[in-house]
Amino acid sequence: MKRIQPVILLLAAMTLFLFYRQSHRQSFTEGITRAQTARMLAWTVCDMNKDRAKSVEPLIDVDSTLWYADEITTVLAEGIMKKDGDLFHPIDYLTWEEASNIADFFDISLSIPVFQKRKPMPLEKWLQFFDRLLAEQDIDIKLIKKEQKILAVPSASDTLDRWQVKTDSGIYSCEGLALEKYLDQTVTAYIYQDQLLMAVPADHQQAEIITASTSVDTDNTKAAEAPSESFSQNDPLPAASAPDIRVCIMNDDFSSEAHKNLG
């Protein structure tokens, strides 16, 4: 019996490890919400200081007091993203077709896997496209993508504001990102000025500085995909999967809601 116990403990440990690895991998295949998509675009390819003041028709599902209101106003004013009647669906995942519409706006080709156009675009794929988008823009966009250690988050600190995070290189705004799970861990952070736009586990991204002149090779990302079809920017939007990463809408009390069940 005593000999069996170590074996049971070992099997239990291996089971937990495999469960963690699977959970880690499954989460990284999940998508990015439309609200977070708007935030990443608004702070990089738009002029937030100018566009946030523009007038757009009120949206039923966008509360003007929430963190994503200005970003959504900005991308709608620029025409980069579309609304669905009087709805924006901020906590729905960005679909492949919606990403293709964004690509069309910037005259960038984006292949859509067959039968996937209405399904969420995996976060990993979105970040690859986002890298390419910034690289191909003929404007001076500088997004720093580098490894950062998360030192403090609002829910565990008395010195940080509601939407701030402290890393080993400073304090950044992290609106909408639930970063508690990365406390004392190293992540690859997408940073623009004082905004931490996205954070992913460090082993999934390589640090680099992306500028308008940087080229991004995306051929390898399409090798395993099925044949694709193109969609026009003017096609109607549909109604609204990469370690434990999930882009969240975080409430003011620091509780978070996962997309449809949702820095």
The per-residue pLDDT for range 138-154, each reduced to its tens digit, is: 767 778 899 999 999 99
pLDDT greater than 80 at residue 17: no
pLDDT greater than 80 at residue 166: yes
- What would the two tokens of residue 252 be? 């003011």
Choice between 19 and 198, residue whose per-residue pLDDT is larger: 198
* 3-17, 24-38, 193-207, 224-238: range with lowest mean pLDDT: 224-238
pLDDT greater than 50 at residue 24: no
Contact 59, 72 (CB under 8 A): yes
Choice between 29 and 98, residue whose per-residue pLDDT is larger: 98
Q: What pLDDT, in 10s, does the model give residues 180-212?
A: 999 999 999 999 999 999 999 887 544 333 333
- What would the two tokens of residue 165 be? 């995070």
CA–CA separation, 85 vs 128, rounded Å? Answer: 30
Q: What pLDDT, in 10s, does the model give residues 53-111?
A: 666 788 999 998 999 999 999 999 999 999 999 999 999 999 999 999 999 999 999 99
Question: Which of 157, 140, 151 lies closest to 192, judged by CA?
Answer: 140
Q: What was the pLDDT predicted at 44?
A: 92
pLDDT greater than 50 at residue 238: no
Q: What was the pLDDT predicted at 141?
A: 74
pLDDT greater than 80 at residue 253: no
pLDDT greater than 60 at residue 3: no
pLDDT greater than 60 at residue 15: no
| Domain edges within the chain | 4-213+241-257
Element (H, E) at 102: helix 96-105
Residues facing 122 on adjacent strands: 31
pLDDT greater than 80 at residue 156: yes
Q: What percent of the chain has pLDDT over 70?
A: 63
CA–CA separation, 174 vs 156, rounded Å? Answer: 15
Q: What was the pLDDT predicted at 252?
A: 46
